[in-house]
Amino acid sequence: MSTETKTTQHTHPDPVARTTRRWTRSGGRPRPTGNFELFSWYFFRISGILLLFFALIHLLIMHLLNNVDVIDYNFIVQRWASPLWRTFDIMLLVLALTHGLNGARVLIYDYVHSRGWRTFAVTTLYVVGILFIVLGAQVILTFQPQIQSVAK
Amino acid sequence: MYHKFDAVVVGAGGAGLMAALQLVGKANIACITKLYPSRSHTGAAQGGICAALGNTEEDHWEWHMFDTVKGGDYLTDQDAAEVLARDAIERIIEMEHMGLPFNRTPEGKIDQRRFGGHTRNYGEGPVRRACYAADRTGHMILQTLYQQGIKENVTFFNEYHVMDLLINNGRCVGVTALEIKTGELHTFHAKAVIFATGGFGRAWRVTSNAHACTGDGMAVAYRAGIPLMDMEMYQFHPTGLYRIGILLSEAARGEGGILRNVNGERFCERYAPTLKDLAPRDMVSRFIYQEIKEGRGAGPNKDYVYLHVDHLGKEVIDAKLPDITDFARTYLHVEPYKEGVPIQPTAHYAMGGIPTNIDGEVILDEKATVLPGCYAAGETACVSVHGANRLGTNSLVDLVVFGKRAGLKAAEYCQQNDWESLPANHEARSKELLGFVNAGASDGKRTEIAGDIRKDLQNSMQDNVSIVRNETGLTAQMGKLQELRERYGRLRLQDTGTKFNTERMEALELGCLLECAEAATKGALERKESRGAQFRDDFEKRDDVNFLAHTLAYRAENGGVKELRYKPVVITRFEPKERKY
Amino acid sequence: MATQVTVKILRYDPEKDKKAHFETYTVEADPLDRILDVLNSIKWYQDGSLTYRRSCAHGVCGSDAMRINGRNRLACKVLVRDVGGDAGKKIQIEPMLGFRILRDLVVDMDPFFEKYKSIKPYLINYEDAPASSERYQSAEDREIFDETTKCILCGACSGSCPPYWAGPDFVGPAAIVNAHRFIFDSRDQGAAERLSILGEGEGVFRCRTVYNCTDACPRNIPVTKAIEQIRRAMLYNR
């Protein structure tokens, strides 16, 4: 009885089962991504809250308390004389970029379904993102004030 | 297309799923449904499922059995009622273990509440026997059983409409079914077939039943030569939403809701001093009928009464009756917190159906000759455990108790018996039927519209075969049905497509409704007495001398009822008495 | 009381049409009629080929989820007067987005049910149940997952979800709701398995908190809240 059971079941597959294969395009369930998605989601929330403060302070200082015409080389020199402001700007840079990158990554996962294109898009995104972080960080960290009087 | 399964279950509601689960691991099985399993009408059951668990007060299965027998006006087969009341307890526990989320008592047990006709100590007063999951008990049972089906990898054929029952050499050997999506005819060759296809409430205008409840299984069996039993016993539920018939559960009254007429009088008190609003359904429906007839109905046409739950308070309503109050708001724009809900009796449940014994085996005559390999359970079957009137919640009990028994018996049958071949031309009858319906799309002489025939059927059944019946109405209805059958022969079809042709499906369903209606009307005409749901104003008394028996209706080869036979009622513990509440 | 109601329906017959197109019907209807009654009236008396699913007609079976005036609704839970049909407003009816159309308003539900199955929608408990009694559960524990037991698998939530439209592999809100029903059931021991399934790329983190699902649910299940509770469970119960 039981052998008969098996063979008939295979020759008459569940009509529903046929469509299973259709929706999981990559064949079977997507591979587990560990805790990456969870941390990515959590990071989104945390970085979002932090960015709110960082961006507001940034906005306040650069656009409201100081008019654009007072923001010049000297202004930056004075500001970055303090390690506190350098840290602030590094944080702002890294958080804003990673938050934005994460958002873009999620969009890619939503709308780019082919495995090849997805890998390409995400790789490009990461390369560009890391490049900007490195460039920005280099400026902030290695900036040395020049003697201003010479220029005048 | 040809399929071969040890067992085929037709219908994926409570009974079908329960039966299918019994076959898992013992037989290779398929479950055919014309919907998706989770769409079955079991899901519409609201109030509860009774079992003498005794979780909140003393209760015994004997009391449950007695209530079932008395509720059925002694037409109930008492061996079946005993099985129902005993097995109910195990089935509830079993479903709880499957994960059914029952409401709980403070100590964490399954909570129980009152329900119509369920009493303590053989009729002394209402008892808390109905286990419930808010007012969506049926939904939770359906979901839970479907979930188990998924877990056990049951093979479902969704959206397949059953066409024919195949019999060869005196044995049931399978069914044919139409795949709605493709229009293809499939043959399911099987050792055992279990019918669990539900009722035929769509034969009436005001009904609580789904559009899908068109008696397909009953009609298919009837056409294959199996009699239909007690079809005249059709229950009208007292509290359907006015005009559209959507069910408002008896749980509303179980929780303390009351019925009032236009004068604000609690009229049930007058008719049933002990149980009042919780008297059995056939009686409460007649009380309402009487109130309306005597001019105490409300509304411009004085044709409804009110169900009041406003005095129960917002908390009770929200916690225990959320869905049905939502129905009142959605469909009538009535706020149950503050006012009475307009209700009228609604066609609800077929006590009758395909006759079976207590193991779900389909029987062919008054001597209970079994048709080997053929089983039925649930509303489509008539064990007969509900007799002339079903008690509230016993439908759900019936599904799981007799669904399980039919499944177990079928599993045993599959293991003990070899294959029987299909009859010659096994698709002939299905193809003939399909050919007839399809021809409606090309034959210019076919001018009858299914919508008109259906409307005429529903209106005439509502007028002649509802709460109160008599010779004149029933005779007229037999004539009407004859006329409708002829008109059905000239049925027009507009949809010529093969894929997802639901017009064709509805035409097939209408054919099934006509078969069921005819058996019901004929049974009612010949039963010259009043018993349970069958109330004749020309024969107001119960007649145990002539009619303490089940009606068996046999179909004539080319339509219509050929003959009626009567099968004696099984009486074990309780002698028939007058029914008072 | 009957008035003339104008209904615009997106039609598609795979055997005849290359593309879906709108057809307009005028029907006599009562303001208290359901949209489903209106569809029935068209099908029975005007155009028998109009195709849609229906069964219970009162919002408990979940067959007739469709887009009514741009929002996913059950045709049997919207009355003509709810959408101003009796006041002369045209009613537009389309199949749900995010599903393959089989014919007219009928969409392919099979992938939807496969996703439902993928989250193990059944009680998992590795211990033997008590021999002759129920498993005990406090009324408070029962209350925790009450909302998500209401799901009727109609698909209105998933069909209103932008990430579900975009990503054919996303399990969708309906499957997540049903996972919630078991994850928060004190009798269930499969939470870890389900959380790990939902923690994957196509699980709960596809949700963008759009709240369309919550708006669409005909059973008033707070779907987005349920999804959020699952994410929190992943974060805190590690």
> Which residue of chain B is at minimal alpha-carbon distance from C122?
B147
Residue that is last in its domain, among B303, B321, B347? B347
Where in B66-215 does DSSP place strands (E)?
112-120, 125-131, 155-158, 160-168, 171-179, 184-195
- For chains A and B, what is the number of CB pairs under 8 angstroms? 27
pLDDT for B320 equals 86
pLDDT at B67 over 90: yes
φ/ψ of residue C200, rounded to 5? -75, 175
CB contact C156 to B (< 8 Å): no
Look up tokens 């997952």; give the residue.
C145
Query: Rounded to an integer, what distance in angstroms lies between the CA atom of residue C130 and that of residue C180?
Result: 25
Query: Do B283 and B343 have their domain in common?
Result: yes
Shared domain check, B363 and B505: no
Interface of B with C in 482-511 (CB under 8 A): 493-503
Is there a domain that residue B580 lies in?
Answer: no
Split chain A (152 residues) into runs of 10 and give each run's mean pLDDT: 35 35 37 74 94 92 85 87 92 95 92 91 95 94 70 42
pLDDT in tens, C147-182: 999 999 999 999 999 999 998 899 999 999 999 999
CATH architecture of structural domain C3-107: Roll (3.10)
3-state secondary structure of C118: helix
37-96 in C: which are within 8 Å (CB) of B? 43-45, 47-49, 51-63, 77, 79
A17's tokens: 């089962």
Asked if the C-beta of C11 comes within 8 angstroms of chain B's C-beta atoms, the answer is: no
Backbone angles phi, psi at A81, to 5 degrees: -65, -25
Going by pLDDT thresholds of 50, 70 and 90, the confidence category of residue C237 is confident
Question: Residues for chain A: how many in total?
Answer: 152
Show the CA angle centred on residue B285, arms to residues B284 and B291, nearest 5°.
90
Q: Which residues in chain C are closer than 8 Å to B201, comparing Cβ atoms?
A: none
Question: In this structure, what are the phi and psi dihedrals at residue B314, rounded to the nearest 5 degrees?
Answer: -55, -40
| Token output for B526 | 């010949």
In this complex, do A15 and B157 lie within 8 Å of one another by their Cβ atoms?
A: yes
Task: State the CATH number of the domain containing residue B383.
Answer: 3.50.50.60
Q: Does A28 touch chain C (CB under 8 A)?
A: no
Whether B172 has a pLDDT exceeding 90, the answer reads yes
User: What gap in Å lies between CA B44 and CA B55, rounded to an integer?
Assistant: 25
Q: Nearest-CA distance from B9 to chain A in Å?
A: 15
Backbone Cα Rg of chain C: 20
Of C167, C169, C201, the CB nearest to A37: C201
C114·A111 Cβ contact <8 A: no
Residue numbers of the domain that contains B477: 428-549
Number of other residues whose CB lies within 10 A of the CB of residue B114: 24
What residues of chain C lie within 8 A of the CB of A15, using their CB?
Answer: 110
Whether residue A16 and residue B3 make contact (CB cut-off 8 A), yes or no, is no
Average pLDDT over all residues of chain B:
96
Q: Does domain C110-236 have CATH number 2.160.10.10?
A: no
Q: Which of B347, B376, B401 delimits the end of a domain?
A: B347
Residue of A2, A8, A19, A20 to mutate, interface with B, max B Cβ within 10 Å: A8
Is B17 in the same domain as B86? yes
Mean pLDDT of B42-61: 95
Asked if C102 reaches chain B (Cβ–Cβ under 8 Å), the answer is: yes
Largest CA distance in chain C: 63
Identity of the amino acid at C5: V
Query: CA–CA separation, C150 vs B137, rounded Å?
Result: 11
For C182, nearest residue in chain B (alpha carbons): B99
> What spatial distance separates the first Cα and last Cα of chain A, rounded to whole Å?
99
- Specify whether the backbone of B551 is left (phi greater than 0), alpha (psi in -120 to 50) or beta: beta
Question: Strand B29-33 to strand B155-158: parallel, antiparallel, or no bridges (unpaired)?
Answer: parallel
Q: Nearest-CA residue of chain C relative to B111?
A: C139
- Does the pLDDT of residue B66 top 60, yes or no? yes
> Does B581 reside within a domain?
no
Any idea where the domains of chain C sit in the sequence?
3-107, 110-236
SS3 at position B579 = coil
The radius of gyration of chain B from alpha carbons, rounded to an integer in Å, stands at 22
Interface of A with B in 2-31 (CB under 8 A): 4-5, 8-9, 12, 14-16
Whether residues A14 and B5 touch (CB distance < 8 A) is answered with no
Rounded Cα distance, B246 and B244, in Å: 6
B165 pLDDT above the threshold of 80: yes
B43/C61 Cβ within 8 A: yes
Chain A residues with CB under 8 Å of C111 CB are 19-20, 22-23
The pLDDT value recorded for residue A34 is 64
State the smallest CA–CA distance between residue B110 and chain C in angstroms. Answer: 7
Tell whether the torsion through CA atoms of A56, A58, A60 and A62 is positive or negative. Answer: negative
**B218 and B95 in a common domain:** yes
Contact assignment for B495 to C48 by CB distance below 8 Å: yes
Beta strand pairing call for C101-103 and C106-107: antiparallel
3-state helix, strand, coil in chain B (%, to 5): 40, 25, 40
Residue B214 lies in a domain: yes
What's B273's DSSP letter? T
Are B267 and B313 found together in one domain?
yes
pLDDT at A102: 94
**Average pLDDT of the residues in B251-270:** 95
Minimal-distance CA residue of chain A relative to C114: A20
* Out of A4, A12, A16, closest to residue B3 by CB: A12
**Cα–Cα distance measured from residue A31 to residue A40, given in angstroms and rounded to the nearest whole number:** 17
Please write down the HEC assignment for all residues of C14-72.
CCCCCCCEEEEEEEEECCCCEHHHHHHHHHHHCCCCCCCCCCCCCCCCCCCEEEECCEE
CA dihedral sign, ordered B185, B186, B187, B192: negative
- C151 to chain A nearest CA, in Å? 21
Q: Quick check: C135 and B36 CB within 8 A?
A: no
Running DSSP on this structure, what letter comes out for residue C128?
A: P
| Cβ C176 vs Cβ C227: under 8 Å | yes
Largest CA-CA distance found in chain A, in angstroms, rounded: 99
Helix, strand or coil for residue A89? helix
Say which residue the tokens 């009307």 belong to: B521
Q: At CA A121, angle to CA A119 and CA A125, rounded to 5?
A: 115
CB distance C122–B148 less than 8 Å? yes
- C177-231 confidence digits (pLDDT tens): 999 999 999 999 999 999 999 998 889 999 999 999 999 999 999 999 999 999 9
Task: Give the whole-angstrom CA distance, residue B416 versus residue B411.
Answer: 9
Q: Is the peptide bond before B384 cis (omega within 30 degrees of 0)?
A: yes
Closest by CA to A143, choosing from A60, A56, A85, is A85
Please identify among residues 378-437 of chain B the ones whose CB lies closer than 8 Å to any CB of chain C: none
B502-526 and B471-488 are packed helices; what angle lies between their axes, rounded to 10 degrees?
150
Q: Across the interface, do A9 and B158 touch by the CB < 8 Å criterion?
A: no
**B139 and B11 belong to one structural domain:** yes
Best residue of C1, C28, C44, C61 to probe chain B, by most B CBs closer than 10 Å: C61
Contacts of B205 in chain C (CB under 8 A): none
Which of A24, A31, A40 lies closest to C205 in CB terms? A40
Question: Residue C138 phi/psi, 5° resolution?
Answer: -70, 155
Edge-first strand order for the sheet with B112-120 is B49-50, B125-131, B112-120
Neighbours of chain A (3+ CB pairs under 8 A): B, C
Task: State the DSSP H helix or E strand holding residue B375, giving kind and residue range, or none if neither.
Answer: strand B370-376
Q: What are phi and psi of B96, to 5 degrees?
A: -60, -40
- CATH number of the structural domain spanning residue B328: 3.90.700.10
List C residues 105-124 in contact with B (Cβ-Cβ < 8 A).
106, 109-110, 113, 117, 120-123
Measured CA to CA, the distance from residue B510 to residue B216 in angstroms comes to 9
When pLDDT is cut at 50, 70 and 90, the band that residue B581 belongs to is: confident
Interface touch A30/C200, C-beta < 8 Å: yes
Chain A interface disruption, residue of B2, B155, B178, B416, most A CBs within 10 A:
B155
pLDDT exceeds cutoff 90 at B156: yes
- Domain count for chain B, please give it: 3
Question: Is B299 found in the same domain as B252?
Answer: yes
Please give the ipTM for the structure prediction: 0.97
Catalytic residues of B: 281
The pLDDT of residue A67 is 82
A4 to chain B: nearest residue by CA?
Answer: B28
Top-level class of domain A44-151: mainly alpha
> Is the pLDDT at B273 greater than 90, yes or no?
yes
Both tokens of residue B15?
Answer: 């009974």
Cβ neighbours of B4 in A, within 8 Å:
8, 12
Angle B394-416/B78-98 helices, nearest 10 degrees? 90
CB B347 within 8 A of CB B320: no
Report domain extents, chain A: 44-151
The pair phi, psi for residue C234, each rounded to 5°, is: -65, -40
* CB-based contact B406:B375 (threshold 8 Å): yes
Q: Which of C114, C118, C201 sits opposite A33 (nearest CB)?
A: C201
